[in-house]
Each structure stands twice: as structure tokens, then as C-alpha cells.
Amino acid sequence: MFTKKTPAARISDLNISDDFLSEADLINSETSPTSKDTKPEPSLPISESDTIPPQVRMRKDEVHHPQVIDQDVENFTTRLDTLITQFRNESLKEFLTAKRTILHEQISTIESEKKRCNALLSSKQDEIEHLKENLEKTSKTNLKNESQKEALALTVGMLKLQKSATYILNKAYISWYKYHSKQQHKKQTKNLMKKLHRKAIINYTFIPWKQVWRVFHQNKGQKLFYEKLEAEKSQLSMHYNKEIEILKTRLYDAERRVAVEEEEKTSMQENLKKAFMRGVCAMNFEAMNILNPGSLTETYSYNENSRNEPLRMEPIKSEQASEIVQRTERYEKFDNEKSQIEEISNMIPSESKELRWKAAPVFGKSVTAPEKPETMTFSGIPSIPVTNSQGEGKVIIVNNVKGAEAKITGKVPLKPAIGKKGMK
């Protein structure tokens, strides 16, 4: 097999001189725009092992002789020489044109800078002349100001003398005024001392009797307050105990009724299951008779059963239809009652400020009747409306019993009702 060489391998096999390659590198470095700043990157050597040439099968007729190969190499070298010379000439032309353009640009920039500098010179000369004129004007104004300052100094001296004279007069008047005010203050203090001495003697004799009377009045008011408070506590405890007993009895009755109804429900479900099974059995016997018309004994027993079973089923169906309707209504009622009873029994008293039970009403507040009418459920258990107002406690109305209702509103501290005279 004959393997083709890659172009890199062929060029490496050529005996090109080092001088030729160095000249080509110099031309490339001169023509490149970034030849001064950047360094040429070293080219990596290409070996024959890096690029594996594809193996091509060739016929016997297509195999080249060594003479033909040498001729191809010579042609390639000549062609390379022509290309290098052309590239060198073109690069030199481009370099010369670029150099000419750069020179023209430099000349134009130098001329523009000259013009700019001349303009700056003229502007600065104008400024110098203007500053000289300003100097002359300021020197004249300074002379005027000095003459004015001398005149002002004379006037200031005269004013200072006048001020010192007025200050002495003012000081004499203030000293006379202070002496006169001190004499008046002494007179007023003497009168006040007399009044306070008289008041102190009166207080020394009257205050002990007043303190004893105040303590007696406070104790009396506290006793009356605690007596009324204990009486109201006892009334409320009796009322709530009665209501709790009534609710417990009602709850017990409701639970008993629910248990009875559940037993009836289970018995009715069993009866329905039995009736359904009988109907299914009858249908199975009819199907078997239609499919297998067998012996007379089977048909006779089947006919007797089929005659007796419809007689049993018809009254069951008519009675059960009415019972089902009635019992479903009862079950709904009892379920509602049971849910209400469970809600009442499972109520957990919370310890928050908004959800707490008031133990006793505040003394001094009027006992009012409930604003909303009581709503009754099916079981006769009264609902518990709860008012939730901001900054107030809960109001719980247990039962509509006259003479025992107490509505508690607001947060009032339990203080004894003492008269205005006793609090002084």
C-alpha cells in the first residue's frame, strides 16, 4: 500500500533555506498593524504522527514513478517562490501607502495645534489688558474707601461717648428700682407668713379628727359592698347550679333516646336485609326453573315457596315504606339534637380575656334583661348566644328565668362604693 503524505509533511521535506523564511517573517512583522506591541506567537511543530493520512487504495496504473514525484516537487517550489514574491511586493506597497497616510495626518494635526495655540495666545493677551484696567480702577476705589473710613472713625468715637453716658444713667435707675421692689417684697412676705401661721394652727387641731372620720366612713362602705357582693354571688351560684342540673337531666334523656333509636335503626336494617335476601332467593328460584325445568318435586316445592313468599313480602314492603320515611325523619331530628348536645358538653372554657366566664356581676351596674330572644332547638335545649364586643367580657344567657338574669358588660374594677365626702 502507498500512503499519501499530508501538505505539512511535504513542505517539511523540502529543503527551503533559513534566510528565505527569516525574510518572510520580517515582512509579516512590518506589515502587521500590531507588530510593535504584540510578539509573534510561536508556531507549533506539526508531526506526521498528529495527522494520520487516510489510506487510499490505488491501482497499479496510477502509481507514480520517482521522477514524476521530483518534477511535482520542483513545480511546487517554483510556484511557492512566485507566491512569496507577489506577497512581498503587495505588502511593501501597502506599508508605503499606510506610511504616507500617517505622515499626512501628522502634518494636519501639527497645523491644527498651531492654530489652536495662536488663538489661546490672543485670548490670554486680552485677559492681561483687562486685568490691568481692573487694577487701576481698584486702586482709585481704595483711596476713596480710606478717606471714608477716617470720617467713620470720628463718628464712632462720638457715639461711644454718648453710649457710656446713657449706660451710667440706666445703671443708676436700675439700682433705685431694685431697692424699691425689695421693700415691697418684704411687706408681702410678712402678710403671707401671718396667713400661713393661722392656717397651720387650724390644721393642727382639725386634721386628726378628719382622718378618724374618713377611716370610719371607708370601713363602713367596704362592709356594705362586700355584703352585697356575697349576696349576689350566692344568687348567681344557685341559679347556675340549677341550670347545670337541668342540662344534665336533659342530656341524659337525650342520650337514652339516642340509644333507643340506634337499637331500632339496627333492627330495621336487619329486617331490610332479610327481606332483600328473601326477594333475591325467590328470583334465583324462578331463574333456575326457567333454565332447568326439572322433576315435579322441585317444581312443586318451588311453587309452594313462591306462593307463600309474596304473601310474606307484600305486607313487609307496605309497612316498611312508611316506617322508613318516619324513622329517617326521626334519625335526622335525633342527629341534630345529638350534635347540639355534644357541642354543649364538649365546650372547653378558654382562659383568654375575650372567652372567659364572669363569676359575678359588677356592683353598681343595673341588671338588664337579654336583648335577643332565646332560640329553642328540637330537643328543647336553649342555645347559648355569646356576644363578643371589643374591650368587653362574654355575656352568657343560660335560661330565660325571670328574676335571676344578670348581664355583665365591660371591665370595671371591684371597688367599694364610697361617697365623695369620704374620698376627700
Output the pLDDT for position 402: 44
Q: Cell numbers 464712632 correspond to what residue?
A: 156
State the DSSP H helix or E strand holding residue 395, giving kind and residue range, or none if neither.
strand 395-396
Tell which of 301, 324, 345 closes a domain.
Answer: 345
For strands 395-396 and 386-387, give the pairing: antiparallel
Domain presence at residue 20: yes
Contact 411, 374 (CB under 8 A): no
Tell which of 309, 327, 345 closes a domain.
Answer: 345
Output the pLDDT for position 203: 83
Q: Which three cell numbers stand for residue 380?
A: 328543647
State the DSSP H helix or E strand holding residue 28, giving kind and residue range, or none if neither.
helix 18-31
With the C-alpha atoms ordered 62, 63, 66, 69, is the resulting torsion angle positive or negative? positive
Domain presence at residue 330: yes
Burial of 334 (0-12, 13-18, 19+ CB in 10 A): buried
Give the C-alpha distances (Å, rounded to integers) separating 43 from 40, 46, 59, 81, 314.
9, 9, 38, 21, 112
Domain presence at residue 336: yes
Domain presence at residue 122: yes
Q: CA-to-CA distance for 114 and 243, rounded, in angstroms? A: 116
Domain presence at residue 363: no
Q: Which three cell numbers stand for residue 207?
A: 386634721
State the DSSP H helix or E strand holding residue 365, giving kind and residue range, or none if neither.
none
Tell which of 314, 345, 376 closes a domain.
Answer: 345
| 372: helix, strand or coil | coil
Domain presence at residue 68: yes
Q: CA-to-CA distance for 180 and 193, rounded, in angstroms? A: 21
Domain presence at residue 414: no
Q: What are the residue ranges of helices labelled H in 292-349?
A: 296-345
State the DSSP H helix or E strand holding residue 248, giving kind and residue range, or none if neither.
helix 66-291
pTM score, whole prediction: 0.24
Residue among 399, 377, 372, 375 at smallest CA distance from 387: 372
Output the pLDDT for position 295: 45
Q: Which three cell numbers stand for residue 357?
A: 366566664
State the DSSP H helix or E strand holding residue 374, giving kind and residue range, or none if neither.
none
- Using only C-alpha atoms, the chain has a radius of gyration, in whole angstroms, of 64
Q: CA-to-CA distance for 405 and 397, rounded, in angstroms? A: 8
Q: Which domain holds residue 88?
A: 7-38+46-128
Q: Which three cell numbers stand for residue 43?
A: 508556531
CA angle 349, 369, 383 (to 5 degrees): 45
Q: Chunked in runs of 10, what are the mean pLDDT values of the chain (424 residues)?
A: 42 44 46 41 42 45 60 85 89 89 90 89 89 89 89 90 91 91 90 90 83 89 91 89 88 88 86 83 80 56 50 49 68 70 57 47 46 42 42 43 43 43 42
The Cβ of residue 266 has, within 10 Å, a number of other Cβ atoms equal to 10
Output the pLDDT for position 273: 83
The domain total for the chain is 2
Q: CA-to-CA distance for 319 and 330, rounded, in angstroms? A: 17
Please write the tens of the pLDDT for every residue from 4-33. 444 434 444 444 444 444 444 444 444 444
Domain presence at residue 326: yes
Q: Which three cell numbers stand for residue 202?
A: 387650724
**Phi, psi (5° rounding) for residue 245?**
-65, -45
Provide the 8-state DSSP code for 42: P
Q: Which three cell numbers stand for residue 34?
A: 500590531
